[in-house]
Amino acid sequence: MDQFTITGNQRNVLFGFMGLGLLCMIITFFGDDMFHTRFWTNYLHNSVFFTGIALMSLFILSAFTTALAGWHTLIKRIWEAYSMFLIPGLILMAVVVIATVGHMHHLYHWTDTTEVANDPVLNGKSGFLNLTWFTAGTIIIMGIWVFFAWKMRQLSLDEDKNGDASYEHHRKIRIYSAAFLPIAGFSSAAVIWLWIMSIDAHWYSTLFAWYTGASWFVAAMASTIVLISYMKGKGYLQNVTQEHLHDLGKYLFAFSIFWTYLWFSQYMLIWYGNVGEETVYFQERQENYPVLFYGNLLLNFIAPFFVLMRNDTKRKYGTMVFASIVVFFGHWWDFFQMIKPGARLTAMHAMEHHGGEGAHHGAEHAAAELPGHTEAAMHAMPFEMGFTIPGLLELGTMLGFLALFIYVVMNQLSKAPLTPKNDPYLEESLHHHVELHGEEAH
């Protein structure tokens, strides 16, 4: 079967989960504090996470194409379909931009003009951390990503219909890929600073963009492995073998280590340097969010390291799917711990200034316990579901976004044959063989 079709059953399940996600978001919204911090952090968290996966799959495709790799050709339609999620991603992020410009939430400390005027650190950063940059940066950069994703997808689809032995389409894709690599590298850093790092507005880390990008990369690989296993179970992608799975597993393993390397480099330099304005980020997370902080390492380093280290585990569908689900959830968790503690502090800080009027829920208690204290980070933060750990509403919201993501991907997959039949590297991919000792591939 080379033509993917969404069955009615799949559609029902996906729409069911989307409905669940929407319901969870509505419940979160109405049970929230006056700034709807929990709602907006959940929305931002999932939008950024899934948009990043779409970006990274385009990056992966571009990197492989530029490197003249051939093994991935049989699964390149999947990453093309992933990259098409950049279009809904642009809409999702546009909502964040509108809400930020319209001051509908209080995620970003630097949007408060009176605060910025009295704060030398934020004032110094206001050349970049301002609404114009936030709006223009998000829309223009994501617009460029969408352009590249669209262009490469169109060329690839056209290659199927009109491709010939001159491989003119592939040459063009290669040019777009090579152009996209530096653009993605630099522009993703800029939006990561704007979307995520600026939540902790006083803090910065030069490694942060890499570390976040690695997180997206691993999540993209993990979700690819799960999707391929599912589709093979449904009778699609029969030419994709254990050999391809093995290579995907190597990427999952290697980039889990890479993520850990970046995470640790960032942590250790800040820990060793011991500069207060830098350590505050980790101090806050280690003291008040130990489950998030250490769980992050457990899910994203310890688990994949020991599960995926052996050669043969990377060739078993069951083990790979298990490891991928753990790691995918782990990187979602990673983004959770990047976003939530900072946004919670910002909201509490803002609520003190608003005198807590109309506020309800935990944030109010927390604010009430700390009258007049602006340095809330110095104090123990009480447990609050949805901030200290992801609650059921967060999981529901994530499932909703995941269903949306999968629906968009499946919808794109159903628009073209799964095998790119005129791709110059198709033969190489069909005969891909990596395991020296391996038996015939299945």
Partner 1 sequence: MSNQKKDILYGLYNDEEYLLKAVDHANAEGIEITEVFTPFPVHGLDPKLGFSESRLHITGFVYGMLGTLTAFLFMTWVFTRDWPIIFGGKPYFSAPAFIPITFELTVLFAAVGMVVTFYIICGLGPGVTIPTLDDRITDDKFCIAFDVTNAEASFTDKLKGFFSQTGAEEVNTKNI
Contact residues toward partner 1 (CB under 8 A) are: 264, 267-268, 271-272, 274, 309, 311, 433, 435-439
Between 102 and 437, CB nearer to partner 1: 437
DSSP labels for 18-47?
A: HHHHHHHHHHHHHTS-TT-HHHHHHHHHHH
**Look-up of token digits 């408060």:** 112
Between 51 and 266, CB nearer to partner 1: 266
With 0-12 CB in 10 A as exposed, 13-18 as middle and 19+ as buried, what is 275? Answer: exposed
Between 421 and 433, CB nearer to partner 1: 433
Q: Smallest distance, Å, CB 189 to partner 1?
A: 25
Between 267 and 335, CB nearer to partner 1: 267
What's the 3-state SS for 193-206? HHHCHHHCCCCCCC
> From CA 274, how far away is CA 324, in angstroms rounded?
35
Q: Smallest distance, Å, CB 376 to partner 1?
A: 25
Between 235 and 437, CB nearer to partner 1: 437
Amino acid 51 reads T
Between 268 and 392, CB nearer to partner 1: 268
DSSP labels for 367-428?
A: HHHSTT-S-GGGSPPPP-BTTTB--HHHHHHHHHHHHHHHHHHHHHHTTSBSS-TT-TTHHH
Q: How is residue 126 annotated by DSSP?
A: T
> From CA 426, how far away is CA 111, in angstroms rounded?
50
Between 30 and 272, CB nearer to partner 1: 272
**Look-up of token digits 């051939």:** 70
Between 132 and 274, CB nearer to partner 1: 274
> From CA 76, how far away is CA 60, in angstroms rounded?
10
Between 354 and 433, CB nearer to partner 1: 433
> From CA 413, how far away is CA 81, in angstroms rounded?
6
Between 307 and 345, CB nearer to partner 1: 307
Q: Smallest distance, Å, CB 162 to partner 1?
A: 35
Q: What is the dihedral of CA 78, 80, 84, 90, to 10 degrees?
A: 110
Q: Which 3 state secondary structure label does DSSP give 103?
A: coil
Q: Smallest distance, Å, CB 207 to partner 1?
A: 15
Best CA proximity match to 81, nearest among 157, 11, 8: 157
Q: Smallest distance, Å, CB 264 to partner 1?
A: 7
Q: Smallest distance, Å, CB 273 to partner 1?
A: 9
> From CA 89, how far away is CA 96, in angstroms rounded?
11
Q: Smallest distance, Å, CB 437 to partner 1?
A: 5
344 neighbors 385 (Cβ within 8 angstroms): no
